[in-house]
Amino acid sequence: MLPAELAPARDAARRALGEVRPAQITDYRSLYGGRRSNAGRALPAYYLVYFLLVELLDFQNLGQADKVAWSVPVEYRGHVYLIEHRKMGLGVFAGDVESKEDAIRDLVIRIQKAVKKAQPCFEWLADQALARSTVNVRNNSSELFDRYEFLARSFKEKMVEAKARSRERIANKEGELRYVGPVYVGTQLRREGRWLALAAIDAFYSWTEHVFIHIAILLGRITTAGKITELAEGEWAEKYKAVFDLREKESKQYFDKLSEIRYELRNFTAHGAFGKRGEAYHFHSGAGAVPVLLPHKAGSRKYRLGTGIAFREEDALDLIDSFIKYLWSGGREPARAYLHDTELPVVLTLASNGTYAGAMTSVEEMSEFIKHEQAAWDRAADMDF
């Protein structure tokens, strides 16, 4: 039930509709032969129109039909129209539609105004759905991972090319007077390769920020929208811990190494290449300019942006590839098919009722579950009710 403080918004929406009222007839069969109007294409998003008319103002919904998700009959200036969400989109339908385009245009304008007035009510409906965790979580895992793979592959190809062309010189630019010494093609290609590697590593962390939350949902460790929001706003480490138990030796080792790479990468890229520990500084001495971050301060760390940008790209990417194999092993293996072989969203209600837990027991169970879910989503998309 709508709270009292939102009653003014609902009443304002009703006034904005003006003469648009629920149709007062009992035989709707004669309406189904109507054609789509051109003016109806300017209606707001289908869910806003549904919320306005059905959820907020109690217009009658005739329900689902073949290729129709919902259908609301309305009366405007003595004529009855159907506002329907069909497979080909939302529209206003009527018989002899050509002669009614002007009236339908006015009808659409009134609905547009009413939707604007009702915005606070729509926000309340969304908040209620989040509070109940009756939500789907979009799955972008495969696209984010493809970006990582593309950049990592491009880095490797660039380094192979750099080795093959290591002795080629870059021709001097015409009119250039200053001498800068021999510049080799391989040097420039390796430089571009480092840029690609840094982008690939950053893409890897972007992917894991996304996929860790989805795996945690499939494992049944997250079942509420509130927890998802909390994790999404939190640090990478918290997302990692939502999937892995750091008491396990291998999980802890990967966590430590990946955290170090992430710290050094973000320390460099997010702070304009200055770093937080004076990496950009060299102090004056009798030996010349000396890095403030001396090598002995780095200890046993292999992955760091020191001595300029001496980042071990190959080592970092090798570690990442090893971790990805570890990620998709054991009890997490079934999640890979769901997150990377489909674009199905993750549904919180299926996490809370144990459906995902059953599917995650084996790759075979997940495969059968995916077939069932994909068929259901395909039927919904086709409106085969």
Using CA atoms, how far apart are residues 33 and 331, in angstroms rounded to an integer?
54
- Selection from 242, 268, 272, 240 nearest residue 256 by Cα: 240
Greatest Cα pair distance, the chain, in angstroms, is 98
**Phi and psi angles of residue 335, each rounded to the nearest 5 degrees, phi first:** -65, -30
* pLDDT attached to residue 65: 84
Contact 168, 186 (CB under 8 A): yes
Per-domain residue ranges for the chain? 4-132, 138-170+181-333
Using CA atoms, how far apart are residues 280 and 58, in angstroms rounded to an integer?
65
* pLDDT attached to residue 269: 57
Contact 151, 194 (CB under 8 A): no
* pLDDT attached to residue 291: 64
Using CA atoms, how far apart are residues 139 and 342, in angstroms rounded to an integer?
9
DSSP 8-state code for residue 197: H
* pLDDT attached to residue 294: 47
Helix locations, the chain, DSSP H: 7-17, 46-50, 101-117, 119-132, 141-164, 185-218, 225-233, 236-243, 249-269, 313-327, 333-340, 348-352, 355-359, 363-382
* pLDDT attached to residue 166: 80
Note the Cα 330 to chain centre separation in Å.
26
Residue 266 tokens read as 């973000």
Using CA atoms, how far apart are residues 377 and 366, in angstroms rounded to an integer?
16
Burial, 358: exposed, middle or buried (Cβ in 10 Å; 0-12, 13-18, 19+)?
middle
**Phi and psi angles of residue 76, each rounded to the nearest 5 degrees, phi first:** -145, 120
* pLDDT attached to residue 280: 58
Please name every residue paired with 75 in a beta bridge, in sequence order, or none if there are none: 21, 80
pLDDT per residue of the chain (385 residues) written in tens, 0 to 9: 788 899 999 999 999 999 999 987 666 665 666 789 999 999 999 999 999 999 999 999 988 888 889 999 999 998 999 999 998 899 999 988 899 999 999 999 999 999 999 999 999 999 999 888 888 999 999 999 999 999 999 999 999 998 888 878 776 555 554 545 557 788 888 889 988 998 999 999 999 999 999 999 999 999 999 999 999 999 999 999 999 999 999 999 999 999 988 887 765 555 454 554 555 566 667 776 666 554 444 444 443 333 333 457 888 999 999 999 999 999 999 999 999 999 999 999 999 999 999 999 999 999 999 999 999 988 888 887 6
Degrees, nearest 5: CA angle 363-367-370: 135
* pLDDT attached to residue 298: 45
The bridge status of strand 282-283 relative to strand 79-86 is: unpaired
